[in-house]
Amino acid sequence: MNKFLLALIFSLTLLSSCGKPSPSVQISDNWVRATEDGQDVGAAYMTLTSNTDTTLTSVESSVSDSIEIHSMTMDNGVMKMRMLDELALKAGKPTELAPGGYHLMLFDLKKALKAGEEVSFTLHFKDAQGKETVVNVNSPIKAE
């Protein structure tokens, strides 16, 4: 009986280690700003927290032909927005994408983004070793 118990414990240990690893990037507080009919640009916001140093390299969604990572700053009373090729995330430190700071710009919207609906995003990350991670998230559309 002891051999059976040891074999069972060993098997369960192996099975538990074969499960999916926890995602290396957690997404919270995600939302998309509602748009008006005819408006072809939108914005999305979220908080990204990574277990390791990693980089957000690109974002895709079926609602838009192009999504860019942007930063916004105020310099002597002048708002400056610029596109970033990527966004570095420090391990354990939440990176907030919010109005007035980092955010995602959705260009060439295929339809108006209506409050109460959702937008699906696919976020691509790459760590220092070159390992790529893809995270899918559904974000509610809010009137703000």
At 123, list the tokens.
Answer: 């976020």
pLDDT in the model for residue 3: 54
DSSP-derived 3-state class of residue 99: coil
Residue 3 lies in a domain: no
Residue 80 lies in a domain: yes
Is the pLDDT score of 49 beyond 80?
Answer: yes
pTM for the predicted model, two decimal places: 0.81
61-77: pLDDT as tens digits = 999 999 999 998 878 88
3-23: pLDDT as tens digits = 554 444 444 444 444 444 445
Indicate the number of domains in the chain.
1
104-129: pLDDT as tens digits = 999 999 999 999 999 999 999 999 89
Residue 13 lies in a domain: no
CA dist 27 and 43 (Å) reads 16
Residue 71 lies in a domain: yes
Q: What is the CATH number of the domain that holds 134?
A: 2.60.40.1890
